[in-house]
Structures are given as structure tokens and as C-alpha cells.
């Protein structure tokens, strides 16, 4: 493991300044801040606008946040990531997902070796495969066209493809339906298989390691299902794989030309723009997939080349640090005003929480400050009718990202003239919530509206909840790519300030190991496994007793 010495961000001069600034900001309101010029908090990049003007900070705070970024080496960290340095120090790996979005002529290296040629080669092979499935050249074993694609994967091998499939609904080929199986709960695969026919179904086994228990169990189930229906020789026509472990995919029985590789320098939660996006490419076609990559690339270049104060992902990350460490907010809501982005909060949960849910710095020393916030959310306007009440008047301060598209998806217009009007209502709600959350409503304003004295306190909106508004022109492959890359880099900036490694996930590993021991215990009916704690042994015994009882 490469030796890296961590800086203690709390020992940086800017940290102390920010503490004082936070004290000053306690008496400030976003409402009053908005009376001054906030243009410096609005950034345009990759055809999107990132509006941080409703954050509870002013130019002095931003200056100190930039100073903190400089003092913790954010610029050097960005440069190191783009240079292919092994920034994932605990696993000895680079984190070069930006190379996945490269264009011929771009150069990306790891240990001096150019990696872009290999990336380009895989994208080219994916395109050929996607075209052949979409055109009907690649058919099932009985000669039927492929109409259903089932992506079997979990975590980063599922959340990105599933989210993108829904987000890019308007770009899908109507002749191909994608399904996503992730949970080891048999209900997941059984439900999907009950809606597809073996002759017309292509399975993509997506797993970086090709060893993840949930994925491999589901993959075996699917293979048995195909073999039972179509015979052993049909596996080749009905399976493709996406993995860094190409040999394991081969051993599973997947034909070499249907195996699409990627590399250990692509983290699972950063992998949608790798071959993990194969289902997305099958659904929306190679050209639109290219646009997704181009959107991500536009933000990558902006992130790499723009000075810190004008850099959208840097400001996103620094706002997150400010809200977390100085305004003491432990959760952050993701509120896409787009039904098609319904799965974005779940995607960002993995991206952010698996990356920055860490308590030790890169050199193993414990952090003495808060790190990654809890991310959660739902699309608006639905969320307004469930949890928004707490956001508005609850006792916890929650910061939010409101994401919206200025225009509705073009293809929806073919269903009639009301689409634009309906979209107007949607975006009006987005802007209204951004206003009410941040500006609120004072006692005087409530009283002035003629509200009875007894009701006034109930109708006061404290406001002062920080909101970032991210606006795209339309939800397209390009804007989705840009949005996701902005979040990836924001997560990276936070990690750089906190001096943690956002690219490992050791916390997840122990659970996998313990679960595999319990599976053995269940099979062997062993209730006194000394490896287990007493409560787990008792639960296991209770479970086996229940199973022994006759079914009612």
C-alpha cells in the first residue's frame, strides 16, 4: 500500500476561519444574503447551470472554503486523479473513470501505460454487439429476436444502469425492454423471469469482480432457466458479461466475444460509463450512449481545467463540506423534479455514502470531524406530499439539491398539447420549494396575509435551509452524463478536503464474510457457531425452529 501522509484539515488556517464564519452565519439568513449580489455563486458548465445562491454562505465564506480546498490540496488531488496516480491507496489502484469518457486524441495513462486505446476498443466492441442485438442480427438460440434484456448485477453494477434506463426513457428502442435483477431475494429474479420468454431474452451478467454472491447466485439461476428451456448449447446466444474478471466470465460459459471488460481503476459506483453501461447502450443505442459519455466528458474537462472558484463540482463539494462540518447538517436531500430521475437518489446514495462514509484518513489516522452526509430523496412533486413538511418546519436543518429540466422531454409532446403546461407546473413547484425552503415566510408576512393570531406560529416558515438548484435544458443523455460526472467530482472534492479515500469500501466486506458463514450454518443446521455473537446465534436458532414448524 502506498504511503501517504494525511493533512489534518482542522489544523489548516482556513478551518479556524470557517469556524468563526459559521458563528457569524448563525445570525445571517439566506433571505438577507439574497439581497446582495449572488452572481458569483452561479456557474454554467456543460450546458447546465449550477446555482448555489441559496446556500447559507457569502463571499467571505466562499473565499475561506476555497482557501481550505487549497490548503488540503484539492487541486493536486484533481491533477493526481487525472494523471492516473494510484489515488485509491488502500487498494493500490488508480481511479481513472474519466478515461472512460475520453475521445480519440485524449491521453490517459496508468503507470505510464496509455489506457485509452483499450477503453476505445471495448466501446467499439460494445457498439458492434449493441447494433447486432438491436438490428436483429444477433438472435436467440431458436432464431427469435431479442426483445428483453435482463441486467443481473448489484451496487454499482445495477444502480447506474437501472437509473439511466429510467432516466433515458424517451431514448429507448421500443422493441427492447430492459429489466434489472439485483437482490438475492428470489422474488427479484422470479418476478422478472415471469415477464420474459427464454427464446427472446438476453442476460447481461454485470459484476466487476464476477464473485459477488448475490449476482452469481442470480446468474446461475438464469443460466439454469435458459438451459432448462432451450438446452445447454443455447447459453452462448443468451448471455453476455461485463467484468474486470474476464476469465471468470469465460468459466461461467459466456462466449468470449460477448464478454466486455473494464479495469481495476474503475470503481463499481463510478462504472456506468464503462461496459457496465451495456444495457443502457442496448436500450438507447450507441449514438445516444456516446452523448452520455460526452456530457460526462464536458464536466470532466471543466473540472480539470477550471480554477477552483469557478468550478461547479468544486463548489458543489465545498458547499457539502460547509453544510456538513460548519453548519452541522448530517443529511442532504436529493430532489429531482423529474419522474424519470426517480432512481437518482438511490444512485447518489451509493456514489456518495459508499465513497465518503469513512472514519479514517488516507494514512489510517482517525478523523476528528464529520465526513460523508446521509443522502436520501424522492422526486418532486411527490416528496412534497410526504417528507417535505419536516424539511420546512422540522427541528433538523437539511440541505437539498433541487434538480430540474427547463423543458419537457421532446418526445412526450406527441401525446398532446398539455405536456408543456404540465411541465410548467412541475418546474414552478421546483422553484417554489427552492424559495420556501431557503427564504421562508416571516411572522409578519403570515400575519399580513390575515391569518388569525393563534395560527400565525404554525404558518411561519423558518426558511434558511440551503438549496442548490441544478438546471438542465432537457433531460438528455448528454445532460444526464454531465449531471452524474458533476456529482462524482463533488464527492471527490469532499474526500480530498477530508483526506479520506473515496474509492474503497472495506465496511461492506465484513458483512459479506459473516453472511457466507451464516449460510453454511443454515445448511448444516448449526446453531452454536462460535464465530457468531450470542444474539445472532439466538436469531439463527429461532429461524430454524420456525422452519421446522408445519406450514399453516
Positions marked active-site:
354, 385, 512
- 508 lies in the binding site for ligand F6P (CB under 6 A): yes
**Cell (9 digits) for 80:** 493526481
208 binds ligand F6P (CB under 6 A): yes
Smallest distance, ligand F6P to C-beta of residue 185, A:
16
Are the CB atoms for 246 and 259 separated by under 8 Å?
Answer: yes
Assess 61 for contact with ligand F6P (CB under 6 A).
Answer: no
Q: Which of residues 341-370 bind ligand F6P (CB under 6 A)?
A: 354
Spatial strand order in the sheet of 48-54? 42-45, 48-54, 467-472, 399-405, 331-336, 374-377
User: If binding is defined by CB under 6 A, does position 155 make contact with ligand F6P?
Assistant: yes
Compare residues 46 and 245 and give the one whose CB is closer to ligand F6P: 245
Nearest residue (CB) to ligand F6P, 266 versus 469 = 266
Q: How many residues bind ligand F6P (CB under 6 A)?
A: 14
> Is 89 or 311 the residue whose CB approaches ligand F6P more closely?
89
On whether the CB atoms of residues 362 and 6 are closer than 8 A, the answer is yes
The interface region with ligand F6P, picked from 13-21, 149-157, 195-203, 413-421 by CB under 6 A, is 149-157
Instruction: Tell me which residue of 38, 27, 56, 49 sits closest to 439, measured CA to CA.
Output: 56
CB of 235 to ligand F6P, least distance (A): 20
Q: What cell does 407 get? A: 423543458
CB 147 within 8 A of CB 177: yes
Q: Work out how close the CB of 164 gets to ligand F6P at its nearest, in angstroms, rounded to a whole number.
A: 15
For residue 511, report the phi and psi dihedrals to the nearest 5 degrees: -60, -40
Closest approach, Cβ 512 to ligand F6P, in A, equals: 8
Helices and strands (H and E) in the chain: how many: 22, 13
> Least distance from C-beta 221 to ligand F6P, angstroms?
16
Judged by CB, which is closer to ligand F6P: 215, or 279?
Answer: 215
Read off φ and ψ for residue 230, nearest 5 degrees. -120, -5
Question: Cβ distance 372 to 355 under 8 Å?
Answer: yes
Give CA–CA dist 375/19, Å, rounded. 24
Q: Which CB atom, from 155 or from 377, has the smaller least distance to ligand F6P?
A: 155
Residues 6 or more apart in contact with residue 268 via CB below 8 angstroms: 155, 156, 157, 208
Whole-angstrom Cα distance, residue 310 to residue 290?
A: 27
Rounded Cα distance, 101 and 480, in Å: 13
Q: Which of 210, 90, 92, 76 is nearest to 152 (CA)?
A: 210
- Closest approach of ligand F6P to the CB of residue 345, in Å: 17
Out of 119, 154, 281, 315, point to the residue binding ligand F6P (CB under 6 A).
154
**Nearest to ligand F6P of 268, 463 (CB atom):** 268
Least spacing, CB of residue 182 vs ligand F6P, in Å: 9
Number of other CB atoms surrounding residue 220 within 10 Å: 13
Minimum CB separation from ligand F6P for residue 331, in Å? Answer: 21
Which one, 478 or 503, has the nearer CB to ligand F6P?
503
For ligand F6P, the binding residue among 166, 207, 400, 435 (CB under 6 A) is 207
Q: What share of the chain is helix, strand, coil (3-state, %, to 5)?
A: 55, 15, 30
Q: Distance of alpha carbon 11 from its chain centroid, rounded?
A: 31
From candidates 156, 198, 317, 477, binder to ligand F6P by CB under 6 A? 156
Query: What is the footprint of ligand F6P within residues 253-272 (CB under 6 A)?
Result: 268-269
348 neighbors 486 (Cβ within 8 angstroms): no
- Picking from 61, 67, 1, the residue whose alpha carbon sits closest to that of residue 25 is 61
Minimal distance in Å, beta carbon 153 to ligand F6P? 6
By C-beta, is 207 or 323 nearer to ligand F6P?
Answer: 207
* Positions 477 through 506 that interact with ligand F6P (CB under 6 A): 505
Interaction residues for ligand F6P, span 209-228 (CB under 6 A): 209, 212, 215
The window from 151-159, 187-195, 252-260, 298-306 that contacts ligand F6P (CB under 6 A) reads: 151-159
Residue 119 binds to ligand F6P (criterion: CB under 6 A): no
Residue 123: cis peptide before it, omega within 30 degrees of 0: no
Q: Specify the residue, 158 or 199, whose C-beta has the smaller distance to ligand F6P.
A: 158
d(CA 119, CA 262): 8
3-state SS, residue 378: coil
| Residues, the chain | 552
Q: Write the interaction track for ligand F6P spanning residues 85-104; mark x where CB under 6 A is met and - where it is not.
A: --------------------
Residue ranges in contact with ligand F6P by CB under 6 A:
154-157, 207-209, 212, 215, 268-269, 354, 505, 508
Amino acid at each position: 500500500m502506498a504511503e501517504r501522509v494525511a493533512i489534518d484539515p482542522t489544523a489548516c488556517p482556513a478551518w479556524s476561519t470557517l469556524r468563526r464564519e459559521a458563528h457569524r452565519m448563525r445570525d445571517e439568513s439566506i433571505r438577507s444574503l439574497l439581497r446582495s449580489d449572488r452572481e458569483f455563486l452561479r456557474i454554467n458548465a456543460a450546458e447546465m447551470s449550477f446555482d448555489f445562491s441559496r446556500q447559507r454562505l457569502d463571499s467571505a465564506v466562499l473565499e475561506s472554503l476555497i482557501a481550505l480546498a487549497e490548503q488540503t490540496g484539492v487541486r493536486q488531488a484533481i491533477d493526481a486523479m487525472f494523471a492516473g496516480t494510484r489515488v485509491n491507496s488502500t487498494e493500490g489502484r488508480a481511479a481513472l473513470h474519466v478515461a472512460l469518457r475520453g475521445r480519440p486524441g485524449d491521453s490517459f495513462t496508468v503507470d505510464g501505460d496509455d489506457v485509452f486505446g483499450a477503453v476505445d476498443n471495448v466501446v467499439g466492441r460494445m457498439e458492434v454487439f449493441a447494433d447486432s442485438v438491436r438490428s436483429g442480427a444477433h438472435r436467440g438460440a431458436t432464431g427469435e429476436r431479442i426483445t428483453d434484456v435482463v441486467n443481473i448485477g448489484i451496487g454499482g453494477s445495477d444502480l447506474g444502469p437501472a437509473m439511466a434506463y429510467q432516466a433515458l426513457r424517451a431514448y429507448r428502442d421500443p422493441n427492447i425492454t430492459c429489466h434489472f435483477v439485483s437482490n438475492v431475494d428470489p422474488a427479484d429474479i422470479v418476478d422478472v423471469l415471469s415477464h420474459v420468454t427464454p427464446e427472446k431474452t438476453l442476460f447481461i451478467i454485470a459484476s466487476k469482480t464476477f464473485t459477488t454472491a448475490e449476482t452469481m447466485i442470480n446468474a446461475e439461476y438464469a443460466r439454469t432457466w435458459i438451459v432448462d428451456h432451450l438446452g445447454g448449447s443455447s447459453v452462448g446466444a443468451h448471455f453476455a458479461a461485463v467484468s474486470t474478471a474476464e476469465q471468470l466470465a469465460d468459466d461461467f460459459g459466456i462466449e468470449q466475444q460477448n464478454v466486455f471488460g473494464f479495469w481495476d481503476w474503475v470503481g463499481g459506483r463510478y462504472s456506468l460509463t464503462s461496459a457496465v453501461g451495456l444495457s443502457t447502450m442496448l436500450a438507447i443505442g450507441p449514438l445516444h450512449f456516446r452523448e452520455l459519455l460526452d456530457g460526462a466528458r464536458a464536466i470532466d474537462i471543466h473540472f480539470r481545467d477550471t480554477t477552483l472558484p469557478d468550478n461547479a463540482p468544486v463548489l458543489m463539494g465545498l458547499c457539502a463540506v460547509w453544510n456538513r462540518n460548519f453548519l452541522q447538517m448530517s443529511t442532504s436531500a436529493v430532489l429531482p423534479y423529474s419522474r424519470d430521475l426517480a432512481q437518482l437518489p438511490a444512485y447518489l446514495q451509493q456514489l456518495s455514502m459508499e465513497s465518503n462514509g469513512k472514519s479514517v484518513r488516507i494514512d489510517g489516522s482517525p478523523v476528528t470531524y464529520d465526513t460523508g452526509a446521509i443522502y436520501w430523496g424522492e422526486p418532486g412533486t411527490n416528496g412534497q406530499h410526504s417528507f417535505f413538511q419536516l424539511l420546512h418546519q422540522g427541528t433538523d436543518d437539511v440541505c437539498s439539491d433541487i434538480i430540474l429540466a427547463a423543458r419537457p422531454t421532446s418526445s412526450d409532446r406527441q401525446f398532446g398539447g398539455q405536456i408543456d403546461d404540465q411541465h410548467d407546473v412541475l418546474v414552478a413547484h421546483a422553484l417554489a420549494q427552492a424559495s420556501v425552503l431557503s427564504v421562508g415566510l416571516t411572522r409578519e408576512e403570515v400575519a399580513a396575509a390575515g391569518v388569525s393570531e393563534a395560527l400565525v406560529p404554525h404558518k411561519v416558515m423558518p426558511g434558511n435551509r440551503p438549496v442548490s438548484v441544478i438546471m438542465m435544458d432537457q433531460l438528455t443523455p448528454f445532460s444526464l452524463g454531465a449531471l452524474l460526472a458533476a456529482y462524482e467530482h463533488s464527492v471527490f472534492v469532499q474526500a480530498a478536503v477530508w483526506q479520506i479515500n473515496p474509492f474503497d469500501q472495506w465496511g461492506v466486506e465484513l458483512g459479506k464474510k459473516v453472511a457466507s458463514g451464516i449460510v453454511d450454518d443454515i445448511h448444516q443446521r448449526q446453531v452454536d457457531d462460535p464465530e457468531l455473537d450470542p444474539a445472532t446465534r439466538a436469531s439463527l436458532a429461532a429461524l430454524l425452529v420456525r422452519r421446522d414448524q408445519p406450514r399453516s
